[in-house]
């Protein structure tokens, strides 16, 4: 009798699992180069930007600010240039084409801030320029004529670059980032309905990190904030690269560690889709990055001039032959706490940018595609779910 009961129990479990598999959603993404950032002037190719402001406001895509090396690669003496140009894009009549609508300017040059879309405008937090790391927080919009409008929000309690930001229920949440003294573990909240209170400290990150992806997503009806990957810069030795995934329960105000990514990853981009999935695009696995950091440490500690130059030459060759960044699309199921590989992007995949949804399209604009090399391409992905 016990054996028969066990057999029926096993059969029921098998049929239930089989039914769940048959109902499993199938995601596919059709990628293309949807548009290009416009040339600065006729006949002058625009090299693209890393760390731009990115977001969607009233069905207009805005890409602004950012930094590049217009004259030469940094290891050849090229100087980083910070930009203030703001590009406003609209959709063509059929909804598939992306057209430049307006070129305007921010009232400041900046790059490497954290940006996210909100119903009130695009929130841009921190960043840096020639003056150093910034505390500024801005709400960026465009008016009926697609002119850029910038509204100041309360400043951060400290300057942050390469942090992450999300919007949830009229509140802005900012996590991590690089400071003038190191890497932050702070997690901050700004209530847009009560700006006088300014930024409030939330339970800190479980470890200090920058260059991670942060998105909001539900987990079986329970809303959470997820932070994925990232890195921590160290003094005198290579950075720590991360494969961790942390979940912040917005009801319990508590961080917890979830299933790690398949590998270390930093500077990628990501979005939440449907009710319980997160897509993570590209990113840097860090092999070349840490190799260059090791060279930098050895160069700094080498007293012999000839040996020092030999190390510099070897480092430059590594940079010049940079293979590009991870082309994978990873998918995380918040309910099942499970990662899987969904896709491979068939183009150069940028890092140090921000992905967003524009209607039904995935947008990954500009960014860095190799060491020191930017792209003017705006990648678009058409997501299909069966």
CA distance linking residue 211 with residue 112, whole number of Å = 10
Which of the residues in the chain have pLDDT under 70? 1-24, 42, 95
CB-count exposure of residue 73 (10 Å: 0-12, 13-18, 19+): middle
Q: Are 187 and 201 in contact (CB under 8 A)?
A: yes
Q: What are phi and psi of 212, to 5 degrees?
A: -105, 165
Q: Could you tell me the two tokens for 14?
A: 């098998």
pLDDT at position 96 is 73
Question: How are strands ordered across the β-sheet holding 27-36?
Answer: 27-36, 377-385, 361-365, 356-358
What is d(CA 143, CA 116) in angstroms, rounded to the nearest whole number? 18
Give helix then strand counts, H and E, for the chain.
3, 32
Backbone CA torsion sign across 19, 271, 98, 47:
negative
pLDDT at 221: 85
Greatest C-alpha distance within the chain: 84
> By the 8 A CB rule, do 364 and 350 touch?
yes
Give the count of beta carbons closer than 10 Å to the beta carbon of residue 237: 12
pLDDT in tens, 282-309: 999 999 999 999 999 999 999 999 999 9
Q: Are 319 and 75 in contact (CB under 8 A)?
A: yes
pLDDT digits (tens, 9 = 90+) for 258-269: 999 999 999 999
Assign 74 to helix, strand or coil: helix
Instruction: Report the alpha-carbon distance of residue 375 to residue 33 in Å, rounded.
Output: 11
For residues 109 and 84, the answer to whether their CB atoms sit within 8 Å is yes
| Right CATH for 34-285+325-385 from 2.120.10.80, 2.20.28.120, 3.40.190.10, 3.40.50.970 | 2.120.10.80
pLDDT at residue number 13: 39
CA separation, residue 93 to residues 32, 97, 98, 373 (Å): 18, 8, 10, 33
């Amino acid at each position: 009798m016990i054996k028969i009961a066990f057999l029926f129990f096993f059969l029921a479990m098998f049929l239930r699992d089989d039914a769940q598999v048959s109902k499993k959603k199938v995601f596919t993404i059709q990628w293309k180069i949807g548009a290009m950032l416009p040339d600065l002037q006729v006949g002058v190719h625009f090299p693209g930007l890393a760390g731009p402001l990115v977001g969607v406001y009233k069905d207009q895509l805005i890409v602004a600010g950012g930094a590049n090396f217009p004259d030469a690669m940094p290891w050849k003496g090229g100087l980083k240039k910070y930009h203030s140009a703001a590009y406003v894009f609209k959709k063509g009549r059929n909804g598939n084409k992306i057209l430049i609508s307006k070129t305007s300017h921010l009232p400041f040059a900046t790059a490497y801030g954290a940006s996210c879309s909100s119903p009130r405008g695009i929130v841009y937090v921190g960043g840096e320029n020639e003056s150093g790391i910034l505390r500024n927080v801005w709400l960026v919009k465009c008016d009926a004529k697609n002119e850029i409008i910038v509204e100041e929000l309360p400043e951060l309690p400290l300057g942050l670059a390469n942090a992450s930001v999300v919007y949830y229920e009229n509140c802005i949440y900012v996590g991590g980032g690089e400071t003038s003294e190191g890497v932050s573990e702070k997690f901050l909240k700004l209530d847009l309905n009560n700006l006088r209170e300014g930024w409030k400290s939330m339970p800190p990150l479980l470890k200090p990190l920058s260059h991670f992806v942060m998105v909001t997503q539900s987990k079986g009806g329970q809303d959470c904030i997820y932070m994925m990957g990232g890195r921590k810069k160290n003094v005198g030795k290579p950075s720590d690269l991360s494969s961790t995934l942390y979940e912040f329960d917005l009801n319990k105000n508590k961080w917890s560690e979830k299933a790690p990514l398949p590998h270390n990853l930093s500077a990628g981009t990501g979005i939440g889709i449907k009710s319980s999935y997160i897509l993570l695009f590209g990113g840097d696995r860090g092999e070349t990055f840490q190799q260059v950091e090791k060279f930098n440490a050895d160069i700094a500690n080498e007293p012999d001039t000839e040996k020092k130059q030999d190390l510099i030459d070897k480092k430059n060759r590594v940079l010049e032959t940079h293979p590009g960044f991870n082309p994978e699309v990873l998918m995380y199921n918040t309910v099942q706490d499970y990662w899987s590989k969904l896709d491979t992007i068939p183009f150069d995949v940028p890092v140090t940018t921000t992905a967003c949804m524009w209607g039904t399209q995935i947008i990954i604009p500009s960014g860095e595609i190799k060491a020191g090399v930017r792209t003017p391409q705006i990648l678009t992905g058409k997501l299909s779910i069966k």
